[in-house]
């Protein structure tokens, strides 16, 4: 199992990499055969190539993340509430999200799931 401090540090690196607009830094957090489901119920992004493509599109929006509470670490999971903040189509928008990261023994994310839906999207018409 990954070290809890390493898991929490990965969450902070995820937020910092978004701040920097660096999809490659985000991708480096993931294991080679990881999955991303963002939002839950959408098609899985499988493997680092699809994950990098997803994050390149995400950071291209100029989105910035802000932690909205403490990171919770239990077993091989880190769970964290945050907001996605962006200026889109002429106005500021916010999406309230809870993500789960599951880690392997090497401290790499093997599964990310993002929990949010229409009721969590603010400023969108």
Biggest distance spanned by C-alpha atoms of the chain? 45
Residue 77 annotated to the active site: no
* Active-site pick, 14, 30, 55, 99: 14
Spatial CB neighbours of 80, under 8 Å, sequence gap ≥ 6: 11, 67, 69, 70, 71, 72, 98, 99, 101
CA distance 72 to 31: 21
CA 7, 84, 98, 36: dihedral to nearest 10 degrees? -70
Q: By the 8 A CB rule, do 81 and 100 touch?
A: no
Q: Which of 30, 38, 55, 99 is catalytic?
A: 38
How far is residue 56's CA from residue 54's CA, in Å, rounded to a whole number? 6
Q: Based on the residue annotation, tell me whether 14 is a catalytic residue of this protein.
A: yes
The residues carrying an active-site annotation are 14, 38
């Amino acid at each position: 199992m990954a070290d809890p401090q390493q898991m929490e540090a990965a969450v902070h690196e995820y937020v910092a990499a978004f701040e920097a607009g660096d999809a490659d830094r985000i991708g480096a957090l993931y294991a080679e055969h990881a999955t991303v489901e963002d939002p839950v119920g959408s098609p899985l992004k499988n493997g680092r190539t699809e994950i990098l493509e997803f994050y390149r599109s995400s950071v291209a929006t100029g989105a910035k993340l802000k932690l909205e509470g403490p990171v919770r670490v239990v077993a091989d999971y880190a769970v964290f509430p945050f907001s996605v903040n962006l200026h889109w189509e002429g106005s500021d928008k916010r999406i309230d999200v809870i993500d789960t990261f599951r880690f392997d023994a090497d401290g790499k994310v093997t599964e990310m799931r993002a929990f949010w839906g229409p009721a969590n999207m603010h400023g969108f018409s």
